[in-house]
């Protein structure tokens, strides 16, 4: 995604299983590599993790509540 990914938009690099196609590749964006998952972020389900990421995106969006 040359101009970045908008909040709430699924990354085009995710495969059908939700795994990053660029993991371990030099093309992987620095922001993705810098994200450090935690037990609090991941919770006990993929749904919890996706909700956490959605809140993070909203809070850091340039035109959102945190940006």
In sequence order, the 6+-apart residues with CB closer than 8 A to the CB of 67 are 59, 60, 61
* CA pair distance 9, 19, nearest whole angstrom: 15
Does the predicted model carry a pTM greater than 0.85?
no
pLDDT by position in tens, the chain (length 67): 777 777 778 889 999 998 999 999 999 988 888 988 899 999 999 899 889 988 888 888 777 555 5
**DSSP 8-state secondary structure symbol assigned to residue 10:** P
Q: Which sign does the torsion angle of CA 37, 43, 21, 5 carry?
A: negative
């Amino acid at each position: 995604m040359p101009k970045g990914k908008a909040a709430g938009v699924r990354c085009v690099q995710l495969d059908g299983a939700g795994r990053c196609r660029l993991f371990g590749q030099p093309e992987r964006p620095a922001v993705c590599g810098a994200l450090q998952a935690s037990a609090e972020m991941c919770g006990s389900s993929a749904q919890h993790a996706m909700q956490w990421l959605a809140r993070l995106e909203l809070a850091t969006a340039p035109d959102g509540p945190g940006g």
